Structure 1
Amino acid sequence: MQSSDEGEDPLPKDEEELKTKKDRYKVLKLLGRGGYGAVYSVLRLSDSEKFAIKCENASAVRKSLYMDCNVLKGAAQIRSRHFCTVIDQAAVKDRFNFIVMKLIGKNLWDLRMDTPECRFSLGTALKAAAQCLISIEQLHRFGYLHRDIKPGNFAAGRVESNEHHTIFMLDFGLCREFVKREEGKIRTQRKSAPFRGTTRYAPLNSMLELDTGRKDDIESWLYMVVEWTSGGLPWRKLKASDRDKVLRFKKELRSKEEIIEDMYYNCPRKEFHRILKYTDSLDFYSQPDYQFVYFCIQHAATANKIKDTDPIDWDPDVPYIGPIEVPGDGKVIDLEVEMRMSAEGSNNKTKKEKDSMKRQKKKEEKEDAKNRTKKREAKKSEKEKKEKTKKESSGANASKKSAKKT
């Protein structure tokens, strides 16, 4: 294929044909777009089967498709049903790289908004919560943190493939490997880390710009589950830019009864708050007890007389046929990771790309250093204020004593 003209969007056009070593695909329509690139539906020309392709600009500094391939390789290794399989992959020279995956249905945000009250029934909320928890435990088993758990990053399968009761985890662009595979141990916790994720669902540690671990993905999962169960979170009216205000809400959730009451409105409060207190008891290095969290969900279902066969909201006329599983222990498995895409055409990093990645790394290191400097200056300023207040207080006391003597 020819390179795109300078200034043109390098990503696929409608009706464009993409060729790989295995097959040919015709682009049907754009499904979604973000900082990572874009997702399209495509038709495989050899058998007219529909798939999705995730594309990434060839000039992108951060090659997130490598992360997708590694995560999905881990999913295939344990035969997970909550991750899409990579069917094919290739590169269109000087334009974009892409992977071909299973096509799925609506994400959980859209499915919730389709309901009359913009919230799931309790039975659907708990079934979806259990499936999403399973996928998080499996992701951690591959050795990765998601760092952007939210309803838009989970979707139901398609009716056509009879997977519309199964939930799939999506978008691994912000994932981070939390293990050093060559050493077989957890990475050392960083003193600080730039904010990653979505403000509404971000865990407390991420909001405080601290390094996040496995427990933090579960905290984000809980915020997501509460939202689709109750219809909203206490900080629902705040924008992404109101991070300080959202942070205050999340801190007060740990102590203020009125915030706790608002948080768990229409929810099984006892079980959900128990999960939050449990995640708060863990640290960066902790391996969460996923089965305990799952037990809390199952206890809420039993207490509310919810059956495994009760229908789900997006398919109300038939009994539930989705997977019913118990999570594993999260123990990290051995996994070979790809450092480059094995795709048609040359897709190795050029000197220009390597230099660009080095610049990006330096930029991130500079940002980290700047954040640390800000924190030191803030501490210093706070200390100076306290010393000044102390001196003023001492001066005032001395004046009072002098006045008494007079």
Structure 2
Amino acid sequence: MASISEGLRSIEDTQNTISGDFVKKDKYDLSLVLRKGEFSIIRLCQDKNKTERIIKFVDEESYKAEMELTEHHIKTIRSMFDYEEDIKKFNRFNNIIDHGYLEGTKSLCIVYEKLGENLNEIRIKYKECKMDKFDALVILHDSLSIINYLHSIGYVHRSIKPSTFCHRYNSKISKDYRPIVMTNFETCCKIVDKKESKFCPKRITSFGGKNIKYCSISQHEKEKIYFPSDDIESWFYIGVLLFEGTLPWFKEKTNKDKDIINGKKKLRNTEDEIYYDKTPDFFRNYCDYFTKGSEEIDCSVICHEMMQMIHKFSRCKVSRTDLYTDERSYIP
């Protein structure tokens, strides 16, 4: 019988809860602080086999929310396969290795597999940071499919940005295809509508520090309810970044809400060649979805169109050394 993957075992088998389970203090050697955010502190660590891991320290509310999401996610995947199936390869969420209170402290933590490069680290390898259209489309289709799945199980991410998506390194997988994995789930919450929001915890309607560079225009307002369409709008800005190598508000080097909002509004003028150069016309038109004010967007339509374009590009004669380098040219 194939064993359940290491990354899923801690949730599925032990069913740890916030009330009584611990991570042994000497199990991991902590090192660099990678990031400090509103909901978490993230550090690099090593286990006793010298395997690098990521450890995230979170508050109780964020921990509980992520555990509930993860358990629901695993049950959803497991329902699709026989129990003997090793489902790790189907898991596009960052695998959890360990979780609970850090022994001897009041700190809740989650230990994850260490992933490969994120989308920012991938794109800067290209000339002028502008990704090849085919490569960008493959990544954008993959990442949108994961976002759509997250929505289908009842959650929004609320912090979609290039660092939300990373490659999962696997020596057994061809370099021509590295699966994209979603991470940074400490910001996630359940999907609610406007009527439900007044009965929900403040965490759902108040987000504090925003994902200002990539959040939807509506999310620049204080205490706005977060809808699935907001995640998709953030994904759209990532797409423009991959194609163009920059965004209008990056060029202006500003962190002011007003300037960033104006930049995002300018992208809605899809014929403006000042801001658009390499972004395909069909992709530019996705911004029409955001001007309708819908709480949800039918991602299946977008995914289908993107897959058609991927097939179109893949029929070209290609000379390349690696899918994710700029050493690629199309021969019509």
TM-score range relative to shorter protein: 0.7 to 0.9
Identify which of 84, 106, 110 aligns with 2:117.
106
How far the C-alpha of 1:137 sits from its partner, in A, is 0.9
User: 1: CA distance between counterparts of 2:206 and 2:100?
Assistant: 33
Query: Structure 1 135/256 Cα, relative in aligned 2: closer, same or farther at 3 Å?
Result: closer
What runs of 5+ residues in structure 1 fail to find an aligned partner?
1-18, 180-185, 318-406
**1:132 matched to which residue of 2?**
143
Deviation at 1:196, TM superposition (A): 5.3
Q: Would you say the 8 A contact 2:116–2:169 is kept in 1?
A: yes
Cα distance in 2 for partners of 1:82, 1:154 equals: 10
- Contact 2:270–2:276 (Cα < 8 Å) also in 1: no
Q: TM-score, normalised to structure 1's length? A: 0.61
Q: Give the secondary-structure state (helix, strand or coil) at the position aligned to 1:236.
A: helix
**CA distance change for structure 1 residues 134 and 66 in 2, over 3 Å: closer, same or farther?**
same
TM-score by length of 2: 0.73
1:16 corresponds in structure 2 to: none
Query: After superposition, where does 1:142-221 map in structure 2 within 5 Å?
Result: 142-160=153-171, 162=173, 165-179=178-192, 186=193, 188=195, 197-209=210-222, 210-221=224-235
Corresponding residue number in structure 2 for 1:91:
101
Kindly state the Cα deviation for residue 223 of structure 1 after the two structures are TM-superposed: 0.5
Q: Classify the secondary structure of the residue corresponding to 1:188.
A: helix
The amino acid of 1:82's aligned partner reads: R
Counterpart position of 1:39: 43
* Partner amino acid, structure 2, of 1:215: S
Say if 1:39 and 1:236 are closer, same or farther in 2 by CA, change over 3 A.
Answer: same
Which one of 74, 91, 95 corresponds to residue 81 of structure 1? 91
Q: Which residue of 1 aligns with 2:308?
A: 299
Q: CA deviation at 1:222?
A: 0.7
Asked if 1:267 corresponds to 2:279, the answer is: yes
Are the structure 2 counterparts of residues 41 and 105 from structure 1 closer, same or farther at C-alpha, using a change threshold of 3 Å? farther
Change (3 A) 1:228 1:27: same
CA shift, 1:229, in A, is 1.5
Contact map agreement 1:196 1:206 (CA 8 A) in 2 = no
Secondary structure in 2 aligned to 1:215? Answer: helix
- Residues 255 and 228 of structure 1, relative CA distance in 2, 3 Å threshold: closer
Q: How much has 1:240 moved relative to structure 2?
A: 5.8
Q: Is the 8 A contact 2:132 2:326 kept in 1?
A: no
Q: CA RMSD in A?
A: 3.3
Structure 2: which 5+ residue stretches go unaligned? Answer: 1-20, 78-89, 199-204
CA shift, 1:187, in A, is: 5.5
Alignment check: 8 A CA contact 1:226 1:263 kept: no
Which SS does the other structure have where 1:140 is aligned? Answer: helix
Deviation at 1:247, TM superposition (A): 0.8
Equivalent position SS for 1:235: helix
The answer for the alignment partner of 2:64 in structure 1 is 66
Q: 1:206 deviation in Å?
A: 0.7
Helix, strand or coil at the partner of 1:114: coil
Check the 8 A contact 1:155/1:168 in 2, yes or no.
Answer: yes
Supply the distance in 1 between the matched residues of 2:57 and 2:276 (Cα, whole angstroms): 39
2:288 corresponding residue in structure 1? 277
Partner of residue 25, structure 1: 27
C-alpha spacing 1:306/1:227, structure 2 compared with 1 (3 Å): farther
- The match for 2:249 among 223, 230, 235 is 235
Deviation string 1:9-42 (CA, Å, 9 cap, x unpaired) is xxxxxxxxxx957996232633612121113232
Query: Which residue identity is paired with 2:97?
Result: I
> Counterpart of 1:69 in structure 2: which amino acid?
M
Q: Deviations over 1:254-280 (max 9, x none)?
A: 34743xx234311212x1122211243
**Deviation at residue 230 of structure 1 after TM alignment:** 1.5
Aligned counterpart, 2:298: 289
Deviations 1:99-153 (A, max 9, x none): 2222211211112123332122111101110111011011112211111110011
Aligned residues: 282
Deviations 1:163-210 (A, max 9, x none): 87011111122222114xxxxxx4627598566532221111112444
The separation in 2 between residues aligned to 1:213 and 1:273, in whole angstroms, is 21
Q: Alpha carbons of 1:193 and 1:24: their partners in 2 closer, same or farther (altered >3 Å)?
A: closer
SS in structure 1 at match of 2:29:
strand
> 1:132 and 1:240, CA in 2 relative to 1: closer, same or farther beyond 3 A?
farther
Change (3 A) 1:102 1:187: farther
**Contact in 2 for aligned 1:52/1:101 (Cα 8 Å):** yes
Mean alpha-carbon deviation: is it higher for 137-146 or for 160-169? 160-169
Structure 2 distance, partners of 1:202, 1:196, is 11
